[in-house]
């Protein structure tokens, strides 16, 4: 996967789905790694069409209010036929109250090997007990970067993982494969480590997400209409209550038949 390791926003995943009008929607899950609120972002999506044609689309987002260290979502709609997204690259980020912007450079957007998973479920469980539930792989050193136990690759000048904030020294001292095999697990955790990994929930497809969003929108609109009707009804009742009533103090006329005696 290609990525710019200096980018303050991490692209965690993306999915594509076609909407009712045949357009391709790309759902991006991102994480603001920085300690500043992000207000604006420019993203470039590189895509390839059915005939092998390629294209790029740049999309600008404003008024984002992405809090520091928060997970966020972005949706990009592509009008260019049935295309496959090949890469997603942040090219500009603007921070709240900070004049300097982050500008992405194409030469820093390079391919890195994917995260090597752990096939042995028991070993994966041991790592998870020792390092935490987000630990998915053993650390690894490369020429210009190091792979954290959480699966994030970091440049070698980073003493801490930009995603999980674990220290590089700690990661390599405690969570390399041999260390995990040797380590004594906390009391009671040994049994937990023997159990097979719990079933993870099936990931929801992008199409399902789109339909859910649509359903949610309909529900919200219906709720809004009901609230509006209730408000109008309450106003009508209030108006009625305020209207002048007939004077009940007036003594009713006495009928002649009742006073005949
Ligand atoms: Zn990490």
Per-residue pLDDT of 34-46, as tens digits, reads 999 999 999 999 9
CA of 99 to the centre of ligand 1 (A): 29
CA distance 131 to 242: 68
CA distance 258 to 261: 8
CA of 203 to the centre of ligand 1 (A): 22
Domain ranges of the chain: 2-111, 114-224
Q: 165-211: per-residue pLDDT in tens?
A: 999 999 999 999 999 999 988 877 776 666 655 444 445 667 777 88
CA distance 57 to 71: 23
Rounded average pLDDT over 55-60: 94
Q: pLDDT band for position 222 (50/70/90)?
A: very high
17 near 157, Cβ under 8 Å? no
CA of 12 to the centre of ligand 1 (A): 13
CA distance 73 to 29: 5
**pTM, two decimal places:** 0.71
Q: 88-104: per-residue pLDDT in tens?
A: 999 999 999 878 999 99
pLDDT at 161 over 60: yes
User: For domain 2-111, which architecture applies?
Assistant: Sandwich (2.60)
CA of 173 to the centre of ligand 1 (A): 14
Find the helix or strand (DSSP H, E) in which 45 lies: strand 38-48
pLDDT at position 255 is: 59
37 near 65, Cβ under 8 Å? yes
CA of 33 to the centre of ligand 1 (A): 11
């Amino acid at each position: 996967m290609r990525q710019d390791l200096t980018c303050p926003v991490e692209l965690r995943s993306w999915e594509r789905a076609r909407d009712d009008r045949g357009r391709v929607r790309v759902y991006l899950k991102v994480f603001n790694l920085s300690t500043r609120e992000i207000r604006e972002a420019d993203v470039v999506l590189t895509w390839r069409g059915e005939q092998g044609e390629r294209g790029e689309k740049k999309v600008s987002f404003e008024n984002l209010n992405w809090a520091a260290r928060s997970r966020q979502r972005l949706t990009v709609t592509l009008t260019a036929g049935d295309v496959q997204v090949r890469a997603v690259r942040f090219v500009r980020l603007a921070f709240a109250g900070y004049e300097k912007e982050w500008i992405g450079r194409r030469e820093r957007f390079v391919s890195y090997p994917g995260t090597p998973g752990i096939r042995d479920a028991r070993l994966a469980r041991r790592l998870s007990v020792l390092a935490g539930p987000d630990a998915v792989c053993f650390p690894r050193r490369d020429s210009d970067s190091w792979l954290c136990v959480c699966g994030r690759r970091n440049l070698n000048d980073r003493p801490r993982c930009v995603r999980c904030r674990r220290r590089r020294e700690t990661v390599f001292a405690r969570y390399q494969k041999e260390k995990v095999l040797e380590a004594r697990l906390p009391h009671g955790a040994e049994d937990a480590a023997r159990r097979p990994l719990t079933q993870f929930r099936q990931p929801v497809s992008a199409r399902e997400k789109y339909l859910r969003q649509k359903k949610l929108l309909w529900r919200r609109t219906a709720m809004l209409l009901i609230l509006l009707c209730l408000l109008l009804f309450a106003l009508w009742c209030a108006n009625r209550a305020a209207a002048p009533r007939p004077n009940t103090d007036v003594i009713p006329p006495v009928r002649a038949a009742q006073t005949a005696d």
